[in-house]
Amino acid sequence: MILMSIKLTGKVPFKEVFCHSLVRDAQGRKMSKSLGNVVDPLDVINGIPLQGLHDKLLTGNLDPRELKKATEGQKLSYPNGIPECDINLDILRVEGYRKFCNKIYQATKFVLGRLGQDYIPPTTSELTGKESLVEKWILHKLSHAAKLTNESLEARNFGDATNHIYNFWYDLCDVYIENSKSLIQDGTPEQKKSAQDTLYTCIDGALRLIHPFMPFITEEMWQRLPRREPEITGNLKTIMKAPYPNGQVYVETNNEEIYKIANDQQDSIVSLIKGVEKITVVKTLDQVPSGCALQAIGPECTVHVLVKGQIDLDAEIAKVEKKLSNVLEQKKKTDESISKFTEKTKPEAKDSAYKRLEKQTAEIEGYEQTIAILEKLKL
C-alpha cells in the first residue's frame, strides 16, 4: 500500500499506524479458529441456537481436547444460543449499545419537538448570563466531556474517549432533559428561551462529539437540527465538516471532585433533607456554629455536625480516636508504598497513591480537630 501510494501520488498514505488490541472471548482468550471460539457475524445477524454452535465446531478440524473446551466455552458464553440481532459482546453488550442508539434518536427527537418549527438558534454558543443553575451545570458537563474526549483522542485512548461521551449523553438525557420539561412547559418566556438554547447547544455538541464513533445515526440526526447563522452562510452541509467540540469553557469551576462526592451521596442527602425544616448557607469556616464536630470527606470537603447536648462525649471521643488510629495505620502503609516507587512504577499507580495520601492526611486533620472540639465541649 505504501509503495503503491508513493508510486501514484508521491506521498505516503498515512503517517501514523494504530495497532489495536486483540479481540477476545468472554473468558479472555484470543478469538481463533484453532480454539473454536470465533463468532460468525452471520450468526449475530440471523441468530443461532446453542446446538447450532456446537454443530459448527464439528465441521472444523479441532483436536478432541480443544473441541471439548470450545463446547464448554459456548455453553458458558451463550447458554441460550445467540438471539437474532440481540447479542452482548461479552457477548451481551451489543444490546445495550443498540438501546443507546435509540437514546440518541429519542433525545434528538425530543429536543426538536421542544424547539418547534420556528426556532432560530443563537449566532454563537456563548452564555447570555441568564442561564439557570442546572443549565450552567449541563454546559459545564459538555465542556468537561469535550476536554476529556480530546485529551483521550490525542493519547489514542479510544475506549476512554467513548466513555466520556457516553457518560455525557446520560447526564444530558437522564438529568437535564428531564429538568427542562417543566421550564419549557411552565416557565416564563425568558426561561423557555434559555432552556431551548441550552438544549440546542447540548444536543448539537453531543452529536458532534460522538460522530466519529457513530457516523450514520449522528449524521441523520444532525441534518434535522436548525443551523446557526454562521453555519448557514458558510454553507456547512454535513456534520463531517462541522468543527469538533474543543472543550470551550462555559462555566469556570474547580469543584468536579465535590460534584462526584455529592453525586455518590445523593440518596443520603435527599433522605436527610426530607427531615429538614430550614437550611442556612454557611460561606466561611468562621460561621460554623459552636458545638459542631467535623468529619473530613476529602481534601476539599468537610461535614460539620451539631453534637453539643446530643451525644455521650466520652463515647464519641473514643470512636473518633479509633477511626484516627485506623487512618494513621493506613497512611503509614501508603507512605511505605510511596517510598518504594521507582522510575519503572506506573504513573497510574503513583497518582492513585498520592491521591490516597492526600485524602488520608485530610481525614487525620479532621479527626484531630474533632477530638479537640469534643474535649472543649466537656469543659
- Domains of the chain and CATH, by start: 21-91 (no CATH), 94-241 (1.10.730.10), 288-339+346-378 (no CATH)
- Give SS3 for 203: helix
Q: 92: pLDDT confidence band, cut at 50, 70 and 90?
A: low
State residue 147's pLDDT score: 92
The DSSP secondary-structure symbol of 79 reads B
Residues 180-218 pLDDT 10s:
888 888 888 888 889 899 999 999 999 999 999 999 999
Rounded distance between C-alpha atoms, residue 311 and residue 306, angstroms: 10
Assign 128 a pLDDT band (cuts: 50, 70, 90).
Answer: confident
Cα–Cα nearest to 38, from 21, 55, 58, 53: 53
How far apart are alpha carbons 247 and 146 in whole angstroms? 5
- Separation between Cα atoms, residue 376 and residue 379, nearest integer Å: 5
Q: What is the pLDDT of residue 88?
A: 43
Phi-psi region of 136 (alpha: psi -120 to 50; beta: other; left: phi over 0): alpha
pLDDT above 70 coverage of the chain, percent: 81
pLDDT of residue 216: 95
Q: What is the pLDDT of residue 6?
A: 92
pTM over 0.95: no
pLDDT at residue 8 in the model: 93
pLDDT at site 86: 43
* Dist CA 74 CA 67 (whole Å): 11
Look at residue 84 and tell me whether its pLDDT is greater than 70.
no
DSSP one-letter code for 297: E
Q: Is 84 helix (H, G, I), strand (E, B) or coil?
A: coil
